[in-house]
Amino acid sequence: MTQLLAPPPTQKERQKQASVQIEKIPVKGYEQVLKVTDKKAGLTAIIAIHDTTLGPALGGIRIYPYASFQDALEDVLRLSRGMTYKAAVNEVGFGGGKSVIIADPKTEKTPELLLSFGTAVEMLQGAYICAEDVGFTLDDARTVLQATRYVVGTPHAKSSGDPAPFTAWGTFRGIQSAAKKLFGSDALEGKVVAVQGLGSVGAHVVDHLFWAGAELIISDIDTAKAEQLAARYHARTLPADQILKAECDILVPCALGGIINDQTIPQFRCKAIAGCANNQLLRDAHGNALRDRGILYAPDFVINAGGLLNVAAELEENGYNPKLPRYKAHHIYDTLLAIYEIAEKNRESTHAAALALAEYRIKYAIGKRVFPPIFHHSAE
Ligand code: NAD
């Protein structure tokens, strides 16, 4: 006997059936902070829309087993605000948002949970556009797409694909900007550059540095990977607990956040820090401490925007063209040089100068999106 399969529910039907609850959490300085729950699907999540002056909020979904709801709230507030600044300073044409799902991505991530979260995103009608982040994979994005069109980075004909090469190119240009500021020339020939973390972005950065003629010191907790790249690029390796203390011209953090802190600052033996890792300063004040030590710092949310620029390009009217994010990532160099100059004139840290520049652009709506984003996956 043939059994006829029922067609999958449409987005509208799913919304009607959904048991998603959305509750507003008032937070000063944020446009919308929403607690999203669905008992049936085992979902507890928070969506934070920090600022949409320049465009809809764009930011990743982080799935992480936070110890408490308060921890998750603090993280999503910090991350969504960071997205606003990253997008504003690099004229991405989007606002800042982020979401967190409180769950262990290894054991608690089910299709029901992802679909329920996607339903909540759909209910916001495009105010928040979600993307990949820690604990959330491309396959998960494909699942979420069944519940909402407001998702980027899913595989399709006009998809932006892997952001890492774009982040790496922006980071390399940021390293060049540091060299220009320090030595009056962006040539890296013979300059000693130490790279922490040889993952998706770090390995690409090392490749660019090699071809630019830098003397490389590299490190990864995966020592086999470090040895393999060291052989390919004739680099020196250092153990993971030594790399931040390496004597070098430019230190390039491409692994973890919080690596610029009270313990590490006195130990640095570099002239500049310019890497892609997110949230490198443990606290804002550590930007001042670096300045006091005479170490030039390329603010992380400026130098690492290549991946965001790439994914945003997927929503252009004519679909994704890699030349646009390549061009914009290339100009991270100029943005950073401007930030170094503003910081010097105002006698403040480069981190403070970058924040002020982002706030200025938001205040005067510089780089505000003119055309609405187009979701090409829904046209397929
Ligand atoms: P990844 O996970 O691919 O690579 C991280 C690498 O760092 C891994 O090889 C890991 O073994 C290594 N590592 C971890 N701890 C280390 C330590 N203590 N010492 C040395 N190496 C260590 O990540 P990724 O995508 O390359 O991203 C790197 C950083 O850049 C992260 O902070 C990420 O948030 C940030 N970032 C990435 C992108 C992107 O496009 N992927 C965009 C913006 C920012």
Mutate to test the pocket of ligand 1, among 86, 90, 278 (most ligand atoms within 8 A of CB): 278
Q: Classify residue 158: in a domain, yes or no.
A: no
Q: What pLDDT shows up at residue 205? A: 98
What pLDDT sits at residue 36?
Answer: 98
**Closest approach atom of ligand 1 to CA 199:** 4
Q: Are residues 186 and 136 part of one domain?
A: no
Supply the CATH number for residue 116's domain: 3.40.50.10860
Strand 128-131 to 57-64 pairing: parallel
| CATH number of domain containing 183 | 3.40.50.720
The strand pairing partners of 193, in sequence order, are: 216, 250
Q: Which residues are catalytic?
A: 98
Would you say residue 153 lies in a domain?
A: no
Cα-to-centroid distance, 340 and ligand 1 (Å): 25
Angle between helices 323-330 and 306-313 (to 10 degrees): 150
Residues 196, 51 share a domain: no
Query: Measuring from atom 1 of ligand 1, which residue has the nearest CA?
Result: 199
Which residue has tokens 């090469």?
165
Give residues with Cβ within 8 angstroms of 121, minimum separation 6.
47, 99, 128, 130, 144, 147, 148, 150, 151
| pLDDT at position 4 over 70 | no
Mean pLDDT of 247-268: 97
**What pLDDT is recorded for position 13?**
60
Which residues form the domain of 179? 164-363
18 pLDDT more than 70: no
Q: Which two tokens stand for residue 367?
A: 């780089």
pLDDT at 1: 39
Same-domain check for residues 249 and 306: yes
Residue having the nearest C-alpha atom to atom 14 of ligand 1: 255
Question: CA 253 to CA 260: how far, in whole Å?
Answer: 10
The protein residue with its alpha carbon nearest to ligand 1, atom 9, reads 199
Please report whether residue 150 resides in a domain. Answer: no
* Any domain includes 6: no
What pLDDT score was predicted for residue 318? 87
pLDDT above 90 covers what percent of the chain? 88
- Cα–Cα distance between 129 and 347 in angstroms, integer? 37
Residue 271 has φ and ψ, to the nearest 5°, of -95, -20
Ligand 1 atom nearest 201 alpha carbon: 26
Ligand 1 centroid to residue 184 C-alpha, Å: 30
Q: Are 195 and 202 in contact (CB under 8 A)?
A: yes
Q: How many domains does the structure of the chain reveal? A: 2
pLDDT above 80 (res 153):
yes
Least confident of 62-71, 156-165, 308-317, 354-363: 156-165
End-to-end CA gap in the chain: 34
What's the CA-to-centroid distance between 256 and ligand 1, angstroms? Answer: 6
- According to the model, what pLDDT value does residue 55 have? 97
Tens of pLDDT along 192-208? 999 999 999 999 999 99
Give the pocket of ligand 1 (CB within 6 Å): 163-164, 167, 196-202, 219-222, 240, 254-257, 276-278, 304, 307
Q: Tell me, yes or no, whether 278 and 351 share the same domain.
A: yes
Distance from CA of residue 202 to its chain's centroid? 14
Report pLDDT digits (tens) over 210-220. Answer: 999 999 999 99
Measured distance CA(227)–CA(78) in Å, rounded? 36
Please report whether residue 243 resides in a domain. yes
Residues 175 and 309 in one domain: yes
168 and 255, same domain (yes or no): yes
Tell me, yes or no, whether 24 and 170 share the same domain.
Answer: no
Both 178 and 116 in a single domain?
no
How big is the chain by its Cα radius of gyration, in Å? 21
* Cα gap 190→182, rounded to integer Å: 14
Instruction: With cut-offs at 50, 70 and 90, classify the pLDDT of residue 5.
Output: low
Over range 247-262, report the average pLDDT.
96
Res. 12: pLDDT tops 80: no
Phi (first) and psi of residue 83, to 5 degrees: -65, -40
Q: Is residue 154, in this structure, part of any structural domain at all? A: no
- Span 25-48, pLDDT tens digits: 999 999 999 999 999 999 999 999
Q: Has residue 380 been placed in a domain?
A: no
pLDDT (tens digit per residue) in 264-293? 999 999 999 999 999 999 999 999 999 999
Element holding 34 (H helix, E strand):
strand 32-38
Does one domain contain both 201 and 62? no
**17, 62: one domain:** yes
Distance of CA 203 from the midpoint of ligand 1 (Å)? 10
Q: pLDDT for 58-114, tens place per residue?
A: 999 999 999 999 999 999 999 999 999 999 999 999 999 999 999 999 999 999 999
How far, in Å, from the CA of 202 to the mean position of ligand 1?
7
Q: Is 76 a domain residue?
A: yes
Average pLDDT value over all residues in the chain: 94
Ligand 1 atom showing the smallest separation from residue 255 Cα: 7
Question: How far from 77 is each of 49, 117, 127, 245, 293, CA to CA, in Å?
Answer: 9, 18, 16, 32, 30
The answer on 190 and 141 residing in a single domain is: no
Same domain (yes/no): 61, 198: no
pLDDT, tens digit, 9 for 90 and up, residues 298-311: 999 999 999 999 99
Percent of the chain with pLDDT over 70: 94
Residue 8 is predicted with a pLDDT of: 57
- Summarize the confidence of residues 347-368 as an average pLDDT: 97
